[in-house]
Chain A
C-alpha cells in the first residue's frame, strides 16, 4: 500500500514518524498483534469492539516544508497530528525529533517542547474569549513567563503581518471567523516555534476567505520556512499548499509524495477517484509535465515551471501545437509541447481504458 515516492531529495527530515499505531478501546494492546496480521478496520470493530485510529503510519516530515495530511472524516488525520505534540498518546510506535522519541518524553520535557518548539492552529480557532486579541497573540510567551514588553512588541508585529493592525484591543467574539483564525496564526507565529501544526485550520471558513488565508500562509512561508504540518479534507487546498502530500484512509497511508506526482501517478483506485474531480489545468504545474531536456526546435515563448497549465494555455492563446521553453529563475530547464499539455489534462488511465474498448 505504501509508495514513498521520489522528491525526498536532499531536504532534511525534521520529524520522522515510525510504525505509529493508535487503537481506541478498553484494551488496545490486545488488538495490536491482530493488526500485524493484516485484519481490516471493520473486522476489528466487529470482533473486538476496538476502533482503529492509526494503522502503521510511516511519514517523514521535511524541515522547512509544508506537509499536508489529507483524508476524509474518520481517516485519522486529526488523531495523527495530535500525536506529534502528544495531545493523544499512541498505542505503539515512535515519533523521532532530533533523534529523540517524543513519545518517551517525561511531562516537564514534553511541556517544554510544546512551549518552545511546537505551535498549533485549530479548526475552531480556540482563542481565549476573555482575553483581547493582543493578549491571545501573546499566549506562548506568556506561558513561558517571558518579558512582557518584548513579547508584546513581537505580538504586535505578527498581528500586523496578518493584517490585523488596529484590532489589538478587540475581543475575539467581535471579529469575523477569518479574522479570528488570523489571530490564531499570529498566536502560532509569536510562539517562535519551528513547527506549526495546523488542524483543519481553514475548514471552518467560507471559500473566498479560505483562499485568501491559503495565500497568506504561502506568503508567510516564503519568508519563514517553518516546518508546517497541515491537516485538511479538501484536495484542492492540499494540492495548493503541499510540498509533500500524505493521503490517509481508514487510518493508514494510501499514498504519499509530491502532490503533482500523485495526480499524475495515482497508485490506488481510491486516490484515482479522489483526483478525478479536480481541475487539472489549474492544479498541474508546467514543471511536472515538461520534458527536462532543451529542445532544438523553435520555441513560441518561455514560461516559468511553477506556472499552472491553465496559465500556459492562456499564454499560448489556445494554440495547440507550439513548443515552450520552461524556465526556473530565468534559466531554461526543459521544454513543453502544447500537445503534452492537453494530454495531461485527461486522466491517463481513462484514455488507455477507452482505447482498450
Chain B
C-alpha cells in the first residue's frame, strides 16, 4: 500500500499530509510497510492518494460535498421556485379533479367530438371509443383519466413554453448555442436523476414535483423541432416576404410559424409520447394514474395487475400517437398536396 508515499515525501509534503491525519489509526498492514511492486501501481485516484496523504480528500467526500452544497442552496431555491411553480400544482390538481369527477357518460361523447375534430377519421374515433370502453369495463378508467389529465396539462405547458423558446433559438445563433447543451443534457440525463433534486426541493406530496419532472423531460422535442422548423422555412418565401416589406412580426406570424407548423406538430407528438413515458416513472414520486398500478405490480410481485396496467398504457400511447399524427397529416395535406 501507500504507493504514492514516496512521491509526497520527495516534494517535502509529508508534514502537510500528516496534518490531515485525524486520529492515527494504525493498521496492521501499515505497520508492515510493504513495498508496492511496480506492476501494482494504481491510478492516482482520490482514494489512492488519500491513503498516502491524509490531506487529500476521498471520493466520497466529493459526493458528500455536492450534497451539502445542494442542501445549502435548497432554502433559497425553494423560496424562488416554490411560488413560480405553484400554478403547476393548481393546474394538475384541477385537471385531475375535472377528468376524474366528470361522469363517464359526459366525457365519452366529449372525447368522441374532440378526436373526430382533430383527426377527422371515423376509424380513429371508433378505436378511441372502444379503448375507453375497455378501460371502463376493466375498471381502469379512473386511472387512465388521471394519467391522461397529467399528460394534458404537461403537454399544454410544454407547448406554451417550448414553442416561444424554439422561436428564440431559431432567431439567434447565440441562443441556439447556449440552449443546445442544456437540451442535450435534459434528453440524455437518466430520468430517475431528475427526480432526486426535485425530491429535495419540493415535498413529495406536491403534484408540481412530478409535473416539473415530466415537463423537463418532455419539453425538449417541441423546442428542437420548432427551432428546426423555422430554420427550414423556404428561403425564397422569406425573401419574397421581405421584398414586400413585411415587419419581423408579420414574417413570424404569417410566414415562419405557419410554414414550420408541420415540424412543430411533429415535436408536439414526440412531447406527448415522452410525457406518457415519464408519467409512468413519476408514479415513484406519487404521480397518480396507471403508473401506480405498474409500481404496485413491481413492488408486490402482482404480475396480473402490472400486465393489465401495461396494456392500458400501450393503448393510451396508441390513442395519443394516432390522434396527433393524423392531425399532423391533415395539416401537411393542405400545405403541400
Contact = CB atoms under 8 A, between A and B. Distances in A.
A87 B243 contact: yes
Given A171-B334, A173-B337, A174-B337, A143 B239 contact: no
B245 A111 contact: yes
Interface residues of A, number: 29
B335 interface: yes
Contact of A118 (B243, B250, B255, B261): B243
Contacts of A347: none
B35 interface: no
B298 to A, nearest CB: 48
**In terms of DSSP, what is the predominant structure of the interface of chain A?**
mixed
13 contacts: A85-B243, A110-B245, A111-B247, A114-B243, A115-B244, A126-B240, A127-B237, A128-B255, A129-B335, A129-B336, A130-B259, A142-B254, A173-B337
Contacts of B335: 129-130, 171, 173
A113 interface: yes
Given A113-B245, A116-B245, A118-B243, 12 more contacts: A110-B245, A111-B245, A111-B247, A126-B236, A126-B239, A127-B237, A128-B254, A129-B259, A130-B261, A142-B254, A173-B337, A197-B243
B144 to A, nearest CB: 36
A39 to B, nearest CB: 31
A137 to B, nearest CB: 12
Given A143-B250, A171-B337, A114 B245 contact: yes
Interface of B: 234, 236-237, 239-247, 250, 254-255, 258-259, 261, 334-337
Contacts of B236: 122, 124, 126
Interface of A: 85, 87, 110-116, 118-120, 122, 124, 126-130, 139-140, 142-144, 171, 173-174, 191, 197
Contacts of A174: 337
A317 B259 CA distance: 59
Most buried by A among B242, B244, B261, B335: B244
A126 B337 CA distance: 16
A318 B236 CA distance: 50
Nearest to A136: B240
